[in-house]
Structure 1
Amino acid sequence: MSAAPPTTPLSVLLGNYPHTRPLKEGTIPVDGVECHYPAFSPLPPAFARMVRDLAFDICEMPTATYLQARDAGVPITLLPVVLVGGTHHRSLTRLPEGPQLSPGQLVGRRVGVRSYGQTTGLWVRGWLREEYGIESSDVTWVTTEDVHVAQYVDPPFVERSGTERVADLLHSHDVSAAVLGPKAIGGQGAGLLPLVADAENAGLAWTQRHGTIPANHLLVVRDGVLRSRREAVHAVYEALKKAIADTAGERDDSPAGRAVAAGWSTSLTSCLEIAGRYALEQGLITQPVDVAAIGAKTAFLGR
């Protein structure tokens, strides 16, 4: 009797976090599945490769990128895992030596952001509209990168800059404020000040009002892989779910610490509903998001 042919390893693109390292290092195995974990640093180019070329089987993906890819018909399915999250009132920044600019004074001004499709920008524009009545079109958004989804065309109130870093737009006085993601806040954004005076409490108030925490990075799988290797996808999910549970002690009680989770929940459903509404309001997508339909595709994973 001939041996069964070897199964092709799954390519799984994950960032480096305490809750992903057990899989990458093999301390938490993926039962019955050989996984290959490509190395990418920084991650954004990998996200673009996934939505443009389906370069990986399973891939970490920003929330806004997923919503735009789904809207464009890219054949990927959301897996219920939040890898990165947190509040974003601190993400809207200004120069410390600049004028005392408040969020309500941004109408008619220029604001830097890595791309109009960046997830941090999605959340920032969402609370700007909710709390200050500022529409996305009230601001000129100056970007340093294209969106990940090739099919998307920026709206007319978005301008592409030749500058490589968002913080440099501030330092050159090309913009009045800048949106910086969680990593950039501690990197190129060092020394910058949030426009919101009490950003931490403002962010906590948002989470209390909405009953969820903004998710920045989720997880997706190629539709073809989900169809042909459902048990393998389930095994990856279960391993990651265990890693998230086992590393809970390494995360604090901040929104960023509490955001990391696996499984369909009221919080995740609310998060996706709000993100979908924001994305539609901001012109990032063309159709309302049916969160129930998204969840139905992976109901077999459980809660």
Structure 2
Amino acid sequence: MARLHLTFACGDYDRTRALEEGTVRPDGIDLTYLRLPVEETFFRMMRHQEFEVAEMSLSSYVVSLRADPSPFVALPVFTSRMFRHGSLYCNTAAGISSPEDLRGKVVGTPEYQLTACVWMRGILGDQYGVPFDSVSHVTGGQESTGRIEKATVDLPDSVRISRAPEGRTLSAMLADGEIDALCTPRIPGPFAARDPRVRRVFPDVVASEKEYYAATGIFPIMHVVVVRRDVYDRHPWAAQSLYKALLRAKDEAYANLYDTSALRFMLPWLTPQLEEARTLLGDDYWSYGLKDNHKTLATFLRYHHEQGLSERLWTPEELFAPESTEAAVI
């Protein structure tokens, strides 16, 4: 029987490299792996559904569930996870000495529905008394002008939101004090250039993120893997094949990361940092599947709904192909 040929658009990750290189192959499937920047993958998949399988923003995927039928089916594979306290920047003259000072401020974000920003708005509300509707939001391009929401969002009136002025980028507005703060997955240009007008809101990011994990047990999920609905409907077995292969690829990356014969990445203390992560977060700190990630997913879905991005509160069980969350018991 001929193997199923699928195109998989995804970032450049150690946890998916075995699929790109072909050392791990999904049962019955040949993959064409397209290594693309996440913004390009998300935009092309959300707007044009160009790929059969793709990495996708968790927030964008949940937004897509508004359609009936929804255009994608997700697998509980989390290609990106990241604590996002370090994604919050401020102008040094904005009078922000602690996260609590963000109340009443003007905060930029490239897109309101970005997963990283959904997480940080939720964390600010839960942990620091800064509800999402206590700030004014400005959207637009971070380093170049013209960025738009990749997914249509219909927000409640309680969300005060506006577009950046024509010809202005969020990075420039932050440095010039036209916005007080910026929540963004990517490091803004002025901060990377060590502009003294811009700093992080959390001065000790690592300490803040460790405190957050100790208090909540949550390692935020950023991205999932989705299968286009028409592909899933024709080949439902592919969900389990892809899930198992992605799981094997991740386990291979774990093993390679702990190989001390030579450093795979240019981090001098990579090994002790890995050992510390395992001590703090557990051996399978980058877990896939529904069981170990139920609380994290439920928390995100609550934030998504509270912030006006979901018409109803979804449950984690509703997000994923059942073939990828259930397995035969031997």
TM-score, length-normalised on structure 2? Answer: 0.79
Q: Which runs of 5+ in 1 are unaligned?
A: none
Paired residue for 1:244? 250
Alpha-carbon distance between aligned partners in 2 of 1:43 and 1:294, rounded to the nearest angstrom: 21
- Is the aligned partner of 1:168 residue 2:172? yes
The reply to whether residue 105 of structure 1 matches residue 101 of structure 2 is yes
**Structure 1 counterpart SS, 2:299:** helix
Q: Could you tell me which residue of structure 2 aligns to residue 260 of structure 1?
A: 286
Q: Would you say 1:53 and 2:48 are equivalent positions?
A: yes
Q: 1:232 to 1:273 in 2, by over 3 A?
A: same
Q: 2:181 aligns with which of 161, 177, 181?
A: 177
- Identity value in percent: 26
Give the drift of 1:165.
4.8
Matched, 1:153 2:154: yes
Quick one: distance in 2 between partners of 1:172 and 1:72?
40
Supply the distance in 2 between the matched residues of 1:130 and 1:123 (Cα, whole angstroms).
10
Shift of residue 259, structure 1, vs aligned partner? 5.2
The residue matched to 1:37 in structure 2 has which SS? strand
TM-superposed CA distance for 1:296, in Å, is 6.5
Q: Contact 1:103 / 1:132 at 8 angstroms: preserved in 2?
A: yes
Moved more, 287-296 or 81-90: 287-296
Q: CA deviation at 1:295?
A: 4.7
Shift of 1:100: 4.6
**2:223, 2:169 → 1: CA distance?**
21
**Aligned residue-pair number:** 293
Alpha-carbon deviation of 1:273? Answer: 0.3
Q: Is the 8 A contact 1:112 1:178 kept in 2?
A: yes
Which residue, 173, 180, 194 being the options, matches 2:200? 194
Shift in CA distance, 153/279, structure 1 to aligned 2, threshold 3 Å: same
Please list, as runs of the form range in 1=range in 2, the aligned pairs for 1:1-303 lying within 5 A after superposition: 9-40=5-36, 42-73=37-68, 74-95=70-91, 99-144=95-140, 145-150=147-152, 152-154=153-155, 156-161=159-164, 162=166, 165-181=169-185, 184-185=186-187, 189-190=191-192, 191=194, 192-249=198-255, 250=257, 252=274, 253-254=276-277, 260-266=286-292, 268-295=293-320, 297=322, 298-300=324-326
Offset at 1:110? 0.9
Q: Is the 8 A contact 1:110 1:176 kept in 2?
A: yes
RMSD across aligned positions (CA): 2.7
d(CA) in 2 for partners of 1:188, 1:259: 33
Runs of 4 or more, structure 1, over 6 Å off, are none
Contact 1:58–1:219 (CA under 8 A) maintained in structure 2: yes
